[in-house]
Amino acid sequence: MTNIDRAARWAVRQTALPTVVKPCLNCSGTRHHPSGKFRVNANGKLLDVWLLMSCATCDRTWKTPVHERVHVQSLEPALLVAYEANDPAAVRALTMSPSLAAKNGYRLDWTGTWDLVVSTARPSRTVLITFELPAPIRVERLLTLGLGISRGEVRRMVADGRLHLPMAPDAKAHRDFEFTIDQPATSRDEVRQPAPPPTPRLRASG
């Protein structure tokens, strides 16, 4: 059996879209959710495209600029169709986009947006973790969830060289990575030598 066959796959699965954190202009709320719609405005050959978001407190709509006065021919036709059809995949991609967040000065809150699907109960030596969404998650949080051990145990295993991570345990990952795990020390120490042939029992003399 090759190593690839034995590689386990864990998946960070999307359960919700991130919350957009930005002060509302109408109330003291800061949390916004995409309404699922775009607004496209044509002015001659120039287009404005907004992603519409709603304040979670007062429901006021906030138009998030996606494209501003962009020439219609510079926009991919499929993209324009997606905006005009309020395509859920386009809403999802833009709501999760760190560059759109940076451009418009808001923060994304990824709390409650994911869960971890662990495919095998016992980890094999190599585990590939795939990300369905770019949620930044501490590596040790994924490992405590996936391996069912404490954060202290994760750090001990890294220190002992039993767990090999591509980054520090408290670093945040947001895309696919692999780690390797050695068998626990107890089972590694067990099977070593074939059992010795039975020897006659020595009797204590006297």
Closest CA to 34 of 89, 82, 102: 89
Q: According to CB under 5 A, which one of 3, 6, 21, 26 is a site residue for Zn ion? A: 26
53 interacts with Zn ion by CB under 5 A? no
**Residue 108 neighbours by CB distance under 10 Å:** 20
Q: Quick one: which of 29, 35, 155, 180 contacts Zn ion (CB under 5 A)?
A: 29
For tokens 């986009």, name the residue.
97
Question: Which residue number, 35 or 57, has a Cβ lying nearer to Zn ion?
Answer: 57
Burial bucket for residue 78 (CB in 10 Å: 0-12, 13-18, 19+): exposed
Minimum CB separation of residue 16 from Zn ion in Å reads: 20
For Zn ion, the closer of residues 24 and 51 by Cβ is 24
**For 157, phi and psi rounded to 5 degrees?**
-65, -35
Nearest to 10 by CA among 110, 105, 148, 111: 148
Window 167-196: contact mask with Zn ion (x via CB under 5 A) = ------------------------------
> Among 22-30, 112-120, 131-139, 184-192, which window interacts with Zn ion (CB under 5 A)?
22-30
In the region spanning residues 60 to 119, those forming contacts with Zn ion, defined by CB under 5 A, are 60
Specify the stretch interacting with Zn ion by CB under 5 A; choose among 58-66, 71-79, 102-110, 176-184: 58-66
Residues 6+ apart with CB under 8 A from 68: 48
If one asks whether residue 55 binds Zn ion (CB under 5 A), the answer comes out as: yes
Q: Does 30 bind Zn ion (CB under 5 A)?
A: no
Strand spans (E) along the chain? 8-14, 19-21, 31-43, 46-55, 61-71, 107-109, 114-118, 126-131, 137-138, 163-164, 172-173, 177-181
Please count the residues of this chain forming the interface with Zn ion, following the rule CB under 5 A: 8
Among 58, 72, 81, 85, binds Zn ion (CB under 5 A): 58
Q: Return d(Cα 100, Cα 148) in angstroms, integer.
A: 36
Q: Which is nearer to Zn ion, 60 or 162 (CB)?
A: 60
Binding site for Zn ion (CB under 5 A): 24, 26-27, 29, 55, 57-58, 60
